[in-house]
Amino acid sequence: MSIEYIKKIPSPEEILESIPLDSEAAERKKRRDKEISDVFTGKSDKFILIIGPCSADSEEPVCEYLERLARMQEIVKDKLILIPRIYTNKPRTTGEGYKGMMLQPDPNKKADVVEGIKTIRRLHRKAVTDYNMPAADEMLYPENYIYLSDLLAYVAVGARSVENQQHRLTVSGLDVPVGMKNPTSGDISVMFNSIKAAQLSHSFIYNGYEVETSGNPLAHGILRGAVDSYGRNIPNYHYEDLVNVMAEYNNLNLENPTLIIDCNHANSLKKHYEQPRISREVLMSRKYNSDLKKIIKGLMIESYLLDGKQDASENIFGKSITDPCIGWEDTEKLIYFCADNC
């Protein structure tokens, strides 16, 4: 074999025992989970913003972002639920260079998975304990979810993972909302198949065990745009797209029909500064069509302290080292606009 075994990874039980969540914080997390799930089940008409850096790169700037977001949450709490993006698994698309915080806790050093797992758990625990802002993370590696299972408020399955059966089956055992993105091809049937699979119960192998899940009724769709056979970006957030996807949702009789609109990626044509404009268009579509208002329950925004992106070696505080993000000034304006127009 051409695989070199470097060191054994601690078990989830060992990691959770060494970096525990105290009972008071766990209770606050439980209340927050209920507030979020009420939006997906239709008991609350609050609007959700899943918002934050493309990829969490370093604890200090992420915590500075969390502190600002927590202040904003208090201001807009009657209208919006802000779920910070703390994406700790996300590498560059090709896997070349930065590997994501879980694999590479220091962007300027080589990979260290054991330290990475501890680092991401400590960061997500801070989001809960210090800021009362349980976060979202992307499920890139299904087996690793268990290291954060008591901390996450929301999980996303990306466009390149949504067709993978292990992702679908794992989601069926989660008790928080999970967004299944449309694949890069834009084939909406793949997204819906993933949602249906995630809402059903399954028996399968997970982390060395035979397991059985109960199904996740909070699994739902995320529209993120598509890429055609020539590599050109194709948005799917326009009014006609939303109506067509809603009609398909209604035909399938899935539980808690919900769409989240990803305002970046192919929807923005990879122009991060278009996210506020796209957000406004989606909100106007909701106002125009009351049925869309019922099904579109949130937006996904890539945002950080500073606008744009940088090379990892530049070490600019609060600036993305993966995809470019809107900066805090535009973020604050966008949050107020959403609160006033949702």
**C-alpha angle 293-220-336 in degrees, rounded to nearest 5:** 45
Q: DSSP characters for 268-302?
A: GTT-GGGHHHHHHHHHHHHHH-HHHHHHEEEEEEE
pLDDT over threshold 80, residue 90? no
Task: Give 95's pLDDT tier (boundaries 50, 70, 90).
Answer: low
Task: Give 2's pLDDT tier (boundaries 50, 70, 90).
Answer: confident
Give the pLDDT confidence score for residue 107 in this predicted structure: 84
Give the pLDDT confidence score for residue 51 in this predicted structure: 98
List CB contacts of 71: < 8 A, sequence separation 6 or more: none
Measured CA to CA, the distance from residue 210 to residue 288 in angstroms comes to: 48
Q: Are 220 and 177 in contact (CB under 8 A)?
A: yes
For the stretch 223-233, pLDDT in tens is 999 999 999 99
- Burial class, 149, CB count within 10 angstroms (exposed 0-12 / middle 13-18 / buried 19+): middle
- CA dihedral (96, 100, 102, 105) positive or negative: positive
Q: Token pair 């055992």 is at which residue?
A: 173
Alpha helices per DSSP H over the chain: 12-18, 23-40, 59-76, 113-129, 165-171, 188-199, 239-252, 275-288, 290-295, 328-341
Measured CA to CA, the distance from residue 149 to residue 144 in angstroms comes to: 9
Give the pLDDT confidence score for residue 91 in this predicted structure: 67
With a pLDDT cut of 70, the percent of the chain lying above it is 98
Q: What's the mean pLDDT in 285-305?
A: 98
Q: What's the mean pLDDT in 193-219?
A: 97
pLDDT over threshold 70, residue 294? yes
CATH code of the domain made up of 12-341:
3.20.20.70
Among 80-84, 186-190, 308-312, the range scoring the smallest mean pLDDT is 308-312
Give the pLDDT confidence score for residue 302 in this predicted structure: 98
Closest-CA residue to 59 (of 149, 155, 126): 126
List CB contacts of 6: < 8 A, sequence separation 6 or more: none
Domain ranges of the chain: 12-341
Q: DSSP characters for 235-266?
A: ---SHHHHHHHHHHHHHHT-SS--EEEE-SGG
Distance of CA 327 to the CA centre of its chain: 19
φ, ψ at 305 (rounded to 5°)? -70, -40
Closest-CA residue to 228 (of 185, 262, 189): 185
pLDDT over threshold 80, residue 212? yes
Give the pLDDT confidence score for residue 109 in this predicted structure: 86
pLDDT over threshold 90, residue 251? yes
Task: Give 93's pLDDT tier (boundaries 50, 70, 90).
Answer: low
Average pLDDT value for the chain: 95
Task: Give 292's pLDDT tier (boundaries 50, 70, 90).
Answer: very high
Give the pLDDT confidence score for residue 98 in this predicted structure: 78
The C-alpha torsion from 288 through 33 and 52 to 278, rounded to 10°, is -10
Q: Strand 226-227 and strand 233-234: pairing?
A: antiparallel
Give the pLDDT confidence score for residue 179 in this predicted structure: 98
pLDDT over threshold 90, residue 337? yes
Q: What's the mean pLDDT in 18-46?
A: 97
Neighbour tally for 214: CB within 10 Å: 11
For the stretch 124-161, pLDDT in tens is 999 999 999 999 999 999 999 999 999 999 999 999 99
Measured CA to CA, the distance from residue 256 to residue 248 in angstroms comes to: 14
At 220, list the tokens: 């739902």
Q: How much of the chain is helix, strand and coil, in % rounded to 5?
A: 40, 15, 40
pLDDT over threshold 90, residue 312? no
Task: Give 270's pLDDT tier (boundaries 50, 70, 90).
Answer: very high
Task: Give 1's pLDDT tier (boundaries 50, 70, 90).
Answer: low
